[in-house]
Amino acid sequence: MQDDNTKPITVEFLSFNHLPSIGMEKDGDTFQWLQLMVFKGLIARIEERFPNLLPAKQPSCLVAIQSNQVLGYIALIPVNIKGTCWAISEPTLNSSLKEPQTRSIKRILFDNALKIKVLNVRNWLTICSTANSDELTNARYNGFQPLKYINRWKPSQEGDTLQNQITQNNSSASIKWEQINKTNYLDVWRLAQSSEPVHIRQIIDRDSKEILTNKSSVNGVLISSEGKYRKAIAALIPHYFSQEKQIFKLIRDVAWDSRLKIELSIILNNLARREKELYIDISSDDIELGQLFKDISWQLIDEKVILGKTLLKRAEFKQLFSEQIGIDSMLKKLRPQSPPLPSPLRNIH
């Protein structure tokens, strides 16, 4: 009798037939997200059949199957409405799996995601933990270049003791937290543009009105007002990889505004109380925001690196990645015990 672990692993698009074998609570957020991904995947297949009529806008989900059991899944997510940039999520595996099988399945899922034919795609993004050398090596092998380091934070129970220390009475009257809408989306757009290096903006290739997509109760922008003068100084927007989980990017103006310490503390503490599960990403190099999260006792759960791959011609490729992070910097992150090496390209936002 053939051992299950020696049987071939196949990769398929997620369907309703796969859901019972995933082994999740049917009322859980992840299971509901997978159900939604089945519907969106069906639309994605229609888009694929009629590319001249329907631009590719819907995400897809691939599952790894062995002996009729789902071993894991990975998502392909459109980053912009034009479909020129897509993101590949981190693989999610069955918790019962063990090494070295997990490494093999992650590689199989990632490699098959790259084989999906998406019309008009010019750039790919993916994200890996800096502690996972296997995923980073596989991404590099497939032509991905490291672009940006981020720290991922989540609320901790210790933060509950600080809820009463910072109140609305400490808030500045000249600053207001607003939901992102048609009135302020351009303010958020300018803030988002200034918070990313030029080469990442070129890869993402988003339009200003796309700020209004993926609406959430978490999204918002801090507006500083003095008379008729209005300026966005910080905002929470969905991450490109935010599908299954609530993952947001906290962006801010290039110049640090000391009022952010109180204002963001109030906002983040309110969100921590209200949301069941919440993750917020910031640039690893943002010392001020990193200290703010420490001060309100949020938990740093991981450092990640965003990687990109372009399908442009060689001349365009060189220009696009002229400001990228060097591989030496990435390897340095994988060897924290080694003496630090100077890297002027490491200081990006």
Q: What is the pLDDT of residue 332?
A: 56
Q: What is the pLDDT of residue 116?
A: 85
Q: What is the pLDDT of residue 109?
A: 96
**Residues of the chain where predicted confidence (pLDDT) is lower than 70:** 1-5, 23-27, 158-172, 243-244, 313-349
Distance CA 303, CA 251 (A): 17
Q: Which residues of 42-81 are buried (b: 16+ CB within 10 A; e: fewer)?
A: bebeebbeeeeeeebebbbbbbbbbeeebbbbbbbbbbbe
Q: What is the pLDDT of residue 95?
A: 80
Assess contact for 194 and 224: CB atoms under 8 A. Answer: no
187-221 pLDDT, tens digit per residue, is 999 999 998 888 899 999 999 989 988 778 899 99
What 28-34 contacts at long range (C-beta under 8 Å, 24+ apart), as own/partner pairs, is 29/244, 29/276, 29/277, 30/244, 33/243, 33/244, 34/61, 34/73
**DSSP SS3 for 142:** coil
Q: What is the pLDDT of residue 322?
A: 53
Domains of the chain in start order, with CATH, are: 4-121 (3.40.630)
pTM: 0.82
Residues 6+ apart with CB under 8 A from 329: 146, 343, 345, 346
Q: What is the pLDDT of residue 203?
A: 92
